[in-house]
Amino acid sequence: MRVIDHFIAGGTAGLSAARTSDVFDPNTGAVQAHVALGDSAVLERAVEAALAAQPAWAATNPQRRARVMFRFKELVEAEMETLAHMLSSEHGKVIADSKGDIQRGLEVVEFACGIPHALKGEYTQGAGPGIDVYSMRQPVGIGAGITPFNFPAMIPLWMSAVAIACGNAFICKPSERDPSVPVRLAELFLEAGLPAGIFQVVQGDKEMVDAILDHPAIGAVSFVGSSDIANYVYQRGAANGKRVQAMGGAKNHGIVMPDADLDQVVKDLAGAAFGSAGERCMALPVVVPVGADTADRLRAKLIPAIEALQVGVSTDPDAHYGPVVTAAHKAKIESWIDRAVEEGSELVVDGRGFVLQGHEQGFFVGPTLLDHVTPQMESYHNEIFGPVLQIVRANDFESALSLASKHQYGNGVAIFTRNGHAAREFAARVNVGMVGINVPIPVPVAYHSFGGWKRSAFGDTNQHGMEGVKFWTKVKTITQRWPDGSVDGGNAFVIPTMA
């Protein structure tokens, strides 16, 4: 069977893998390939190649680095269709969604095309007598990105486009569940003119992650995945003296005020709760209608909309969403639905046991709606990461605000209202990192930055935009003086001041 390999020093590594893991086609449930699971020896090869290539890449002027990004963007665009099929065949999301996954990643590449501007430093002339001060941003050196299964194109590009444009070498460790797209991206980077060793892919699981976290030559690690692992990566990477940004899980709430346009809200929720089978960290799996009347009206409109959703194979152009990523994940989602029922929530639409005719072994889960969910329930507290929408009823604005603010996760939140004052108040006070006002999935555009709060992110810089540039560079500040012989240097033995 085909083995998906590492991509090291400009080519597939061709190393025999002592350990491999199955890569499924979620539409059929069949194993379609194996992926190599690398270890510290594999990582060492990638680090050696990165160390050899990075100084010359960092010395390449930023405009030339940006030109490689331009060419790369064009190559990916030309291959959009093939890449989207490759992505869907391992992940299960529908083709349109895979194109969105790639497109959102390309938007960060577009941001990276402007890197010469972003890397301009600061300058103060005459900070003291004959003294100027300036700062420059220099690459960290070698960076690594450890990415989740749910956005196998976008998230590697969030990290790598900025890291590489800033002059770093970047080593990507994709999810072992859908590892192919980053390898193809590596080939396209090479074709775009990126030197070998600057974008590499090492495949693997925890063993490879630990090797990355412990390698002294890797200066920065960016992680996206579930919260417990994000926390682990943050702690271990930081203990080893690395810069770490680690994005975790989520449970985004959508607050529906009594004055909201409910027809629009239902359309938004259908996409935001069920799109990509709910396997998005910015999905909206909790809806909080304010007031019993809003809740009843919303529920009445939601039921037919959810029942009308088409679940199909990822290549079906009429399917709203496809299968989930693995059988294990399907079982986990269904057991969360069981738990929600045991805890006393009302199962309004039941997606368990869903079977798609002709694809009986596929990992499909039907859309599910639960009402009368309360904050005490485990199924509310935890991330389900499937096509499951939970209604948590709130009496008033303050309790809705407090629900979202007190939840362990704080990635995104949305409010639906026609009242500007309520929206403004909500945005200012809610304890969550990304807020949508009548926008169900408030993923910031590439030149802003992506990042949540609380257990949705560990570390202090966000992904892409100027936060990304900060993460992938170190600031160096130079204080210079060019004495002409008449400058009074003062007493060299006391701390210099400008007084």
Active-site positions read 281
For 192, the token pair is: 């775009």
Least Cβ distance, residue 89 to ligand NAD (angstroms): 17
Size of the site for ligand NAD (CB under 6 A): 27
Q: Output 170 or 232, the one with its CB closest to ligand NAD.
A: 232
For 285, the token pair is: 């799996």
Contacting residue, 24, 57, 149, 189, with ligand NAD by CB under 6 A:
149
> Which residues are bridge partners to 243 per DSSP?
220
Convert 4-30 to b/e letters by CB count within 10 Å (16 or more is b): bbbbbbbebbeeebeebbebbbbbbbe
Interface pattern 60-79 for ligand NAD (x via CB under 6 A): --------------------
Interface pattern 261-300 for ligand NAD (x via CB under 6 A): --------------------x-------------------
For 39, the token pair is: 């270890």
Is residue 247 part of the contact set for ligand NAD (CB under 6 A)?
A: yes
Is residue 186 part of the contact set for ligand NAD (CB under 6 A)?
A: no
Interface pattern 376-415 for ligand NAD (x via CB under 6 A): -------x-x-------------------------x----
Least Cβ distance, residue 398 to ligand NAD (angstroms): 27
> Which residues are bridge partners to 146 per DSSP?
173, 223
Interface pattern 453-472 for ligand NAD (x via CB under 6 A): ---x----------------
Phi, psi of 126 (to 5 degrees): 70, 40
Q: Output 195 or 412, the one with its CB closest to ligand NAD.
A: 412
Q: CA nearest 249: which of 386, 417, 82, 55?
A: 386
Q: Output 67 or 332, the one with its CB closest to ligand NAD.
A: 332
Contacting residue, 4, 212, 250, 391, with ligand NAD by CB under 6 A:
250
Least Cβ distance, residue 452 to ligand NAD (angstroms): 5
Interface pattern 207-246 for ligand NAD (x via CB under 6 A): --x--------------xxx--x--x--------------
Q: Output 147 or 200, the one with its CB closest to ligand NAD.
A: 147
Is residue 320 part of the contact set for ligand NAD (CB under 6 A)?
A: no
Q: How far is CA 443 from CA 101, 411, 436, in A?
A: 12, 10, 8
Answer yes or no: are the C-beta atoms of 472 and 127 closer than 8 Å: no
Query: Taking the CA of residue 417 as centre, how many other CA atoms within 13 Å lie in the half-sphere pointing to its CB?
Result: 23
Q: Output 151 or 199, the one with its CB closest to ligand NAD.
A: 151
Q: Output 6 or 173, the one with its CB closest to ligand NAD.
A: 173
Q: CA nearest 146: which of 174, 116, 124?
A: 174
Least Cβ distance, residue 138 to ligand NAD (angstroms): 27
User: Which residues of this protein are in contact with ligand NAD, per CB under 6 A?
Assistant: 146-151, 173, 175-176, 205-206, 209, 224-226, 229, 232, 247-250, 281, 383, 385, 411, 452, 456
